[in-house]
Structure 1
Amino acid sequence: MKLGYIIQKILKKMFNRPCVNQSNIEKSARIDIGSVVVETSMDRYSYIGEHTSVLCAEIGAFTCISNYCAIGGGGHPIDWVSVSPVFNTTKGIIKKKLSSL
């Protein structure tokens, strides 16, 4: 390998660290560079890729999350069959079909 490539990798790791705030991260879990993790619990041997945002989530054991993902931040009803907009908006397809009957 070229020395310039190795130096570039080292500098990237040093100055582009993940930001973790108010979270419970197991010691064996890993968060890659440039990621933001807020109010999240992360179980053992899980991984979050580069430049990923995770907000208010519970990540189980042995979970891998890819680079450049955005997870959390939105509120959805968890006691419904689905969180699809078809079921939880006033202008959904189901409501239109029912009103035409």
Structure 2
Amino acid sequence: MEASFSLNDNTARITLSGDFTFEAHRSFKEAGQHALDSANASALEIDFAAVDYMDSAALGMLLLLRERFGARPIRLINTRGTVKAVLDVANFGRLFQFE
């Protein structure tokens, strides 16, 4: 999996591509660190458009990033299929915004 970072106005974005599993932790952590280091980022979007599968390790990575990002909102965008089902079963709608 690849995770890339971009910043548009005050919104940081992590774009994911491939299966979001434990093997993605380094790439996701690096992109997340860029978001954390962006002082003017008031929100974060994580784009799942190119992700077809995620495992429990990915859920843990999202929780850790949420904890580190503080009170700023995190939106999970373009979730669908199995990924959306995993996020729903894990009740992530209580922790993250979905679009």
TM over 0.5: no
Greater share of strand:
2
Greater share of helix:
2
**Higher CA-based Rg:** 1
The higher-RCO structure (CA 8 Å, 6+ apart) is 2
Query: Scaled by the length of structure 2, what TM-score is found?
Result: 0.22
Query: Scaled by the length of structure 1, what TM-score is found?
Result: 0.22
